Structure 1
Amino acid sequence: MRRSLLVVPLLVLALAGCASAGDPDQQRALEVPEASALEPAVNPVVDPWAGLPTLIDADWAGRTAEATGIPRRAMLAYGGAAVYVANQNPSCNLGWNTLAGIGEMESHHGTIFDGAIEDDGLVTPPIYGIALDGADTHTIPDSDKGAIDGDPEWDRAVGPLQFIPDSWQNWGTDGSGDGAVDPHNFDDAVLATANYLCHAGGDLSLDDNWRAAIAAYNDAAPYAEGVAEYAIRYSNEASTS
Structure 2
Amino acid sequence: MAETTQSRVDAPEHPARPLPPYVPRLAFAGGLVLTGVILIMTVGMNRPGGEEPPPPAEPQPALAVPDQKPQPGAATPRAGLAAPPDRPTVSDAAELETWANRVAAKTRISVTELSAYGRAEMWLRRQKPGCHLSWATLAGISRVEAAQGRLGPIMLAPDVWAKQAIRATSDGKQPDPKNLDDAAFATARYLCAAGDDIATPEGWWKSMRVFNPAVPYVQEVFSAADAYADASVAP
TM-score normalised to structure 1 length:
0.61
Q: Specify the code of the residue in structure 1 equivalent to 2:189.
A: N
- 2: CA distance, partners of 1:203 / 1:34: 14
**Mapped contact 1:55–1:80 kept (Cα < 8 A):** no
Residue equivalent to 1:16: none
SS of 1:183 mapped into structure 2: coil
Question: What stretches of structure 1 of length at least 5 have no aligned partner?
Answer: 1-20, 114-126, 128-158
Residue equivalent to 2:186: 192
Q: Specify the code of the residue in structure 1 equivalent to 2:122.
A: V
In the TM superposition, what is the alpha-carbon distance from 1:169 to its structure 2 partner? 1.3
Tell me whether 1:104 sits opposite 2:151 in the alignment.
no
Q: Bigger radius of gyration, 1 or 2?
A: 2
In the TM superposition, what is the alpha-carbon distance from 1:55 to its structure 2 partner? 8.0
SS of 1:180 mapped into structure 2: coil
Question: What stretches of structure 2 of length at least 5 have no aligned partner?
Answer: 1-68
Residue equivalent to 2:85: 42
- 1: CA distance, partners of 2:119 / 2:72: 29
Residue equivalent to 1:92: 131
**Mapped contact 1:43–1:55 kept (Cα < 8 A):** no
SS of 2:155 mapped into structure 1: coil
**Mapped contact 2:118–2:135 kept (Cα < 8 A):** yes
SS of 1:91 mapped into structure 2: coil
**Structural mapping, 1:109-188, within 5 Å:** 127=151, 160-178=153-171, 179-188=173-182
- 2: CA distance, partners of 1:92 / 1:86: 8
Q: Specify the code of the residue in structure 1 equivalent to 2:118.
A: G
Residue equivalent to 2:228: 234
SS of 2:87 mapped into structure 1: coil
Q: Specify the code of the residue in structure 2 equivalent to 1:197.
A: L
Write the deviation string for residues 188-226 of structure 1: whole angstroms up to 9, x where unpaired.
Answer: 000001111111351111111100000000011011111
Change (3 A) 1:90 1:164: same
- 2: CA distance, partners of 1:198 / 1:55: 26
Relative contact order, higher structure (CA 8 A, sep 6+): 1
Q: Specify the code of the residue in structure 2 equivalent to 1:34.
A: R
- Which of the numbers 55, 74, 95 marks the counterpart of 2:113? 74
TM-score normalised to structure 2 length:
0.63
CA RMSD of aligned residues (A): 2.6
Write the deviation string for residues 24-56 of structure 1: whole angstroms up to 9, x where unpaired.
Answer: x9326x5421322316x4341349xx8xx8385
- 1: CA distance, partners of 2:138 / 2:167: 17
Q: Specify the code of the residue in structure 2 equivalent to 1:105.
A: V
Residue equivalent to 1:32: 76
SS of 1:174 mapped into structure 2: coil
Q: Specify the code of the residue in structure 2 equivalent to 1:36.
A: G
Number of residue pairs matched? 165
Residue equivalent to 2:201: 207
Q: Specify the code of the residue in structure 1 equivalent to 2:87.
A: P
Write the deviation string for residues 61-104 of structure 1: whole angstroms up to 9, x where unpaired.
Answer: 11211211111101001111111111221111111111111111
**Mapped contact 1:98–1:231 kept (Cα < 8 A):** yes
Q: Specify the code of the residue in structure 2 equivalent to 1:187.
A: D
Q: Specify the code of the residue in structure 2 equivalent to 1:93.
A: H
Change (3 A) 1:212 1:160: same
**Mapped contact 1:201–1:210 kept (Cα < 8 A):** no
